[in-house]
Amino acid sequence: MYEGEHSWFASVPVLIFGGFHIWMMIDAVRKQEWMWLALMFFLPGLTTIWYFFYMYRGAPSSTRGFELPGAYDRRRIKELQAQIHHLDNAHHHFQLGDLYFQQGKLDQAEASYRAALERDPEDPDIRAHLGQCLLRLNRPGEARPLIEGAIAQNPRHEYGYTMMALAETLMAVGEIDASIGVWQRVTANNSYPRAKVQLAELYLDKGQKDLARAELLDVLNDDAHGPAFQRKRDRIWFRRAKRLVSRA
């Protein structure tokens, strides 16, 4: 190989990583992550990769696939902390809890939800979201009365998201038949992959392969024809459906 060719091939990885590094720095600027920006500027390399996995990729595995309605925004966290300092009302604590939940910081989310609940103990949204947080913390016994209370006030609370949390809670405490009944109520009115895949898993556990296959094929068909944002949001469930369909 000629020396010029060797030099060109050697420079390709450098160019690729340089582009990746600039991309992450631009993302840090857009999110106003000035500390990360400084670290990447002065310590490029592992810091850039760390930023990608820690900040850019989105919600951690503890809440991926179980998102609450709404979006995660680090700048909004700072705004809410300032508003809480001055106003200290339930709504701001609740919103802060949602943002921590989306980050996967469940202990901090629980603290914010409990602060909100102290200030407004009857709000069904606060009760439901605290219940979902406790469920992700593997405390379904504590989660259940909060989630059931929100559903008692409104069976369609948050478009079926709270009902899905109830089905998952019943699964967690071992009430499988009751969970199947709730999942069936959810899928009768919604096409959420999160509901259909978990219902299919329970059908498979009971040997009801035809019922499981019908739910899984619905999920895979939706994946083929759904909009890009929906496919991205629900990709964890599409992947699980692909793995399960071979068993059905």
189-216 pLDDT, tens digit per residue, is: 999 999 999 999 999 999 999 999 999 9
Q: What pLDDT is stored for residue 50 in this prediction? A: 75
pTM, two decimal places: 0.70
* Section 108-121 average pLDDT: 96
Look at residue 39 in the predicted model and tell me its pLDDT. 84
Question: Which of 186-190, 192-196, 225-229 shows the lowest mean pLDDT across its residues?
Answer: 225-229
Which of 40-44, 77-81, 174-178 is the least confident region? Answer: 77-81
Q: Where are the alpha helices (DSSP H) in the chain?
A: 3-30, 34-42, 46-51, 74-86, 90-103, 106-119, 124-136, 140-153, 161-172, 176-189, 193-205, 209-225, 228-233, 235-245
- Please provide the average confidence, as pLDDT, over all residues in the chain: 84
Q: Which has more pLDDT, 167 or 68?
A: 167
Q: What is the pLDDT of residue 206?
A: 96
Pairwise CA distance, residues 49 & 52, whole Å: 5
